[in-house]
Structure 1
């Protein structure tokens, strides 16, 4: 069971309804624009393990995400992502899968170590549960695809899903960047516009859908993102596991 301390932070699994409510409050703060306090919650929360990253000294919740375990690809329709993507290609995936979702860091906290601790917690979860694929929706802030042209062009050129796993269009409003973009990416600009979580996935060999879903409810553009654990390089695996020690 996840429970690790790294530097000034501690990562743990939510153990009470109060913990889950705290995560839902942080999610609301991160994903919604209303100037009120509220809860971001849905029907998937009860089936998930909720991971909290807290400041050890103050106990402040600085990051959270949830993990939905699936026995194999036959259960892919149970996932949150299946609402937005046609994922029948992944039904043939034979190993254990987990959907990582609702990842957010408190906007007031800028410490890059928070993301590192979150990845350490994810790594421990993957190892403890013999997970063979990690997947989810990686979000770009806002719904204006134009501001992310270089990032999407780089995804098209370097990081599209293998054909055997490629998600197909399901949502009514999408940006089909692989088909529509003709520009060559400015790689420095692409990296600067890439969400940090997605950048981490890609460094480990992750891949994305060929289109982005326009999610006006959460004011995001998101791409389906998959990471086959066996495709992570040995050096990268050693680095990730070292963070869990």
Structure 2
């Protein structure tokens, strides 16, 4: 594997990294396309708006099962929301003023280690991966969703531009997290799971296993040859995006009964990222800079 030099500022020592940290990241716009802007949440009210968007997508549109509190408030919320950064896409031309139309939840390793750990540790054995790569900085991505009318190329591009900006500004080395296939029957999802296993196999140093008793091997039920073109059409856009970037898909899936999904674990070291995307967004995340 050839290491791709992603950050020219690393060559100038710590000066650029110090400059990034001298301002409040939440105050800065991370990118803009027309009326759409990507940035971090700036207030608890904006976090609540992101939670309402997640509720609309996960519980009202998809098949997540709400507890009494979530149903009463109409928000998808958990304790991790208090320690994460919340990436937002806002439409400034929405009829009633700026509206949050997309979100991603970001949890840095330094915060996770001081608080509750990584959210994905509730399904996967993340700690051995971190220990094998001591000295590298990890970022967990999760709770991604976009309002249905905004599921377009430019909204997705802005979300990724925001993540890329965040990664650059925080010296992240590896992105991790769960990605979901809708449905809780791994047998029905076998063609998709088998394709992921064969398309993006994970080398030993990056493997992450499910918690004991939770894992379903991705290729356990793939009895027939997989039609790759058909499967690619059926994969969720988020997972297809990870594959295009160069992510590894670990060997086991976990059924999430609350959200009605089957989750796979994603590992994306920055040196794996396809140089086409680095050039597209810019090594310094300048393509859609506001």
Aligned-partner Cα distance in 2 for 1:106–1:174: 31
1:174-201 deviation line (CA, Å, top 9, x unaligned): 4322333233221111111211111111
- Note the C-alpha offset of 1:141: 1.6
* Residue 63 (1) aligns with residue 102 (2): yes
> What is the aligned counterpart of 2:235 among 184, 194, 208?
194
Q: Unaligned stretches of 5+ in structure 2? A: 1-24
Secondary structure, in 3 states, of the residue corresponding to 1:78? Answer: coil
- The aligned counterpart of 1:243 is 287
1:15 to 21, 38, 42: 42
Distance in 1 of aligned mates of 2:246 and 2:112? 20
Give the counterpart of 2:85 among 49, 56, 65.
Answer: 49
Change beyond 3 A, Cα 1:77–1:209: farther
Describe the superposition over 1:57-102 as per-residue Cα deviations: whole angstroms up to 9, x where unpaired. 1122111011100149978981001110112431221311110110
Query: Is the 8 Å Cα contact of residues 70 and 76 (structure 1) preserved in structure 2?
Result: no
TM-score calculated relative to the size of structure 2:
0.77
**2:179 pairs with 1:138:** yes
Name the residue aligned to 2:126: 87
Are 1:31 and 2:58 counterparts? yes
Q: How many residues align?
A: 245
Output the CA distance in 1 between the equivalents of 2:101 and 2:214: 32
Change (3 A) 1:82 1:190: same
- What SS does structure 2 have at the residue aligned with 1:210? strand
Give structure 1 stretches of 5+ with no counterpart: none
Alignment of 1:85-234 (within 5 A): 85-90=124-129, 91-93=131-133, 94-170=135-211, 172-234=213-275
Counterpart secondary structure, 1:243? coil
Residues 22-62 of structure 1 show CA distances to partners (whole Å, capped at 9, x for unaligned) of 01111111112479661111111111110110112112211
**Residues 8, 70 of structure 1: CA spacing in aligned structure 2 closer, same or farther, 3 A cutoff?**
same
The answer as to whether partners of 2:90 and 2:102 remain within 8 angstroms in 1 is yes
Of structures 1 and 2, the larger Rg is shown by: 2
Q: Is the CA contact (8 Å cut-off) linking 2:195 and 2:228 kept in structure 1? A: yes
Closer, same or farther in 2 for the Cα pair 1:187/1:22, shift >3 Å? same
**Greater displacement, 15-24 / 90-99:** 90-99
Q: Secondary structure at the match of 2:77?
A: coil
Which range moves more in the overlay, 235-244 or 69-78? 69-78
